[in-house]
Amino acid sequence: MTLHKEGHKTIALSTILFGIINVLSFYFLSSTLPIVSLLVFIITFGLLLFLISFFRVPNRQLTVNENAIVAPADGKVVVIEEVLADEYFTDRRIQVSIFMSPLNVHVNRNPVGGEVVYSQYHKGKYLVAWHPKSSTENERHSVVYLKEGKEILVKQIAGALAKRICNYLQAGQAVNQSEEMGFIKFGSRVDLLLPLNAKILVKIGDKPQGGVTTIATW
């Protein structure tokens, strides 16, 4: 396991703050209120471990399969439905949405290899990630991949806690399947808009792993 580059500054600052708080706690409280001093240490140490865990990048055997569309994120499948596309596409598509809790791995990965033909950031609201309108009204970044004449769209969507979407892709860029596309801080969701003839291999409630689990084939 490694730590993601997006977390280096946050973890460094948090570690310094952890040290300062506990030095002060030990100096002022340990002799008179040792239990309080111990609780301060336990709580701050737990928060520090949470931050480190949040930015983890586990070692995985990533999926590379010409016919597969792999999960772009860890989390829980909360939506599988046919929708009328509202961005880039004008036709009907199958939407698969993956909700990411703060406990999930937050690296986002390319569901397919190919060419990035569209990459667009949108300002927006911070509705809870499972809100039906979060896909269209929240802050988000949309990417369209072109592979052998077929296209899919992936949306990184901010939520009530997620206030920063990182995306590393630009239009015209060639990418490989399961490599990093971006990172979302502190929980949110990722939507995929797939062709209607895609064969969906997951169901509501499934918990895919980003870059590993095959969501669909085409």
DSSP character string of 96-145: EEEEE-TTS--EEE-SS-EEEEEEEEE--B---TTSTTHHHHB-EEEEEE
User: Which entry of 97, 119, 142, 188 is annotated as an active-site residue?
Assistant: 188
CA distance 68 to 140: 25
Question: Could you tell me the two tokens for 21?
Answer: 């708080």
Q: Where are the alpha helices (DSSP H) in the chain?
A: 8-29, 34-54, 134-137
Is residue 188 among the annotated active site residues? yes
Decide: 158 and 139 in contact? Cβ < 8 Å. Answer: yes
Burial class from Cβ neighbours inside 10 Å (0-12, 13-18, 19+) for residue 57 reads middle
Q: How many CB atoms lie within 10 A of CB 204?
A: 12
Cα angle, residue 164 at apex, residues 173 and 108 outer, rounded to 5°:
45
List, by residue number, the catalytic residues. Answer: 188
